[in-house]
Structure 1
Amino acid sequence: MTTKQPDWEAIERAYRAGALSIRTIAERNGISDTAIRKRAKASGWARDLSEQVRKEVRNKLVRGEVRDEQCANPEHDAEIIEEAAEEGARVVRSHRRDIRKATNLANLLMDDLLTTISKREEIEDSIEAETADDSNGMRRATMLSAVALPSNAKTLFQLSSAMKNLQVLERTAFGLDDKEQPNDSDDLSKLMDELSKDA
């Protein structure tokens, strides 16, 4: 049986782009991260394109166009940047969609809570009527506690926290609070790994 040889050209591109951790590159290519590190050291690969990848991800999200960067090997590096930027842009777009869905859901839940609070007396009367023939008051107590003020206050707090978190995520996903990005390519690799797991 012939063992399939790793695609070292693709591995080099992913390694130099710096968008994925070495461990993730290894898993995707069915080899060990140690083998990649040895090959990178022997071939003189450098993970030096991560900042350019970050710029291109932002560029793709805003304009959908790729700007060529001045590099040691412009054509080869431009291809690596393009490939990594496309993957990063895809992940961010996916997260934007997920954040929108979660925000819509939180808004619907907030509307339901408002309806429950505004019609609490009617709901309590319906519960009393529904449980009038019960042999004990357990079901009635459980149903009434679900629409009681402490329960509504707890739900409001949880929804407010969720909406606050979603607003932070949305502002980040749309680059509205653009802070200076770290220069360390390992930080970007960790971020991209996390995004890839969620996507």
Structure 2
Amino acid sequence: MAKAKKPIDWAAVEREYCKTDQSIREIARWYGISDKAIRLRAKEKKWPPRGEGAPQATPQAAQSISDAVEPIVERIRTLPADFDASPEAIIGRGQKLAVRMLDELEADTANIGEIEEAIEEANSGKNAARRRDAMLKAVSLSSRAGTLKNLALAAKTFAEASAPDGKKKQRQAAADQTASSGGKFAQRSGPRLVASNP
């Protein structure tokens, strides 16, 4: 047996249509009718245009570009004047940071038993099981191995960046310098055209 259709509250649909900024599809879904039926009813009954009675947002004054950029510029200006941004300085700081982090990892690994006991004591009880598991996972062997791998990769990258050029590059640079200096191995210039008519 088919379900009896419930009556449609067209007054409420009209209110929603005129006074809110909901889409026609959302209204149709809410009232369990098709959006086409709402459109046809609005056209037939000459409902006012959509959103006319909806509360409008108060327009805000446009923000000037200088006001938007000013905080960013101030953050950049706060860098110390003696800040060295040369590649060599950056590589040096990166190497020092990698060594410090490696020292921290070594200290954590040496005291892993004490750290795990402290986590167990701090998170005892039924409600803290999830937190305890997350903290133990953070200090687990796989986590520390991943950290070590990342530190090794960073150290390798810094070492490669600070290393002098390889032999091939050094030879090529020497050859370029020799060729450009005008010595006996320099590239020959084109022939001279001399016209001497006596």
TM value normalised by structure 1: 0.41
Give the structure with higher Rg (CA): 2
Larger RCO, structure (CA 8 Å, separation 6 or more): 1
> Which structure dedicates a bigger proportion of its chain to helix?
1
TM value normalised by structure 2: 0.41
